[in-house]
Amino acid sequence: MARFKKIETLMVMKKTGVVPVFYHNDIEIAKNVLLACYKGGIRAFEFTNRGDFAQEVFAELVKYGGRDCPEMIIGIGSIVDAPTAAMYIQLGANFVVGPLFNPDVAKVCNRRLIPYSPGCGTVSEIGFAQEAGCDLCKIFPAGSVGGPAFVKSVLAPMPWSMIMVTGGVEPTRENLESWFKAGVTCVGMGSNLFPDSVLKNGEWEKITQLCRECISVKV
């Protein structure tokens, strides 16, 4: 298990700009996806807590990443309560992401100096999350609460904010440029990076190439 420092994790997420969001109950598919993203230049990867025994897949994925993708920072997503956050931190999560803001999760993560990116849909939620020590707040669902215009509006009075967006992010230059120009720190992207047909056919190189293209927009 590779344990990365909080500041290192945040800076990697900012530098790369794209954080894949992925879940699969087959560890071999998860390993192939992680490696494909790694080859494409990705250095922060969010595995989501969305299925039965997801923690078992995650534990194996973290061990694999430590051996075969040593620079990859692996975090856990879809976390809504503190006990689940604590479990995944113990299994090697280097950052925690959630669809909502839970102050109890913030306490658990702060105690271990683990970045916590809670889902926020209003300026007030972002403010409360920042008060609780959340450096990188996630706007979710970003496409539904105002898109890039909302991000720009938030940063006008709160320019110190670091913002991740998920929901409404697409792997196209036009879409990604709109988010980065608005001022996001990074974007989270799920199924658009991992089409079902690609996973079914094991076309891992397509994922690698798509990751490269997405990162090039940030650069």
Cα 136 to Cα 133: distance, rounded to the nearest angstrom: 9
- 183 domain residue, yes or no: yes
* pLDDT at 47 exceeding the cut of 80: yes
Mean pLDDT of 29-57: 97
Backbone angles phi, psi at 128, to 5 degrees: -65, -40
pLDDT of residue 3: 81
Mean pLDDT of 181-192: 96
- 1 domain residue, yes or no: no
Q: What are the CA-CA distances from residue 128 to residues 113, 133, 135, 216 (Å)?
A: 18, 9, 11, 33
* 83-122 pLDDT tens trace: 999 999 999 999 999 999 999 999 999 999 999 999 999 9
- 119 domain residue, yes or no: yes
- 197 domain residue, yes or no: yes
- First CA to last CA across the chain, in angstroms? 29
- Report the share of the chain in percent with pLDDT over 90: 98
CATH number at residue 20: 3.20.20.70
Count up the domains in the chain and report the number: 1
* Mean pLDDT over the full length of the chain: 96
- 100 domain residue, yes or no: yes
pLDDT of residue 79: 98
pLDDT of residue 124: 97
- 177 domain residue, yes or no: yes
Residue 152 belongs to domain spanning: 6-218
pLDDT of residue 70: 96
- 118 domain residue, yes or no: yes
- 105 domain residue, yes or no: yes
pLDDT of residue 176: 97
Under the banding of pLDDT at 50, 70 and 90, the label for residue 2 is: low
pLDDT of residue 218: 82
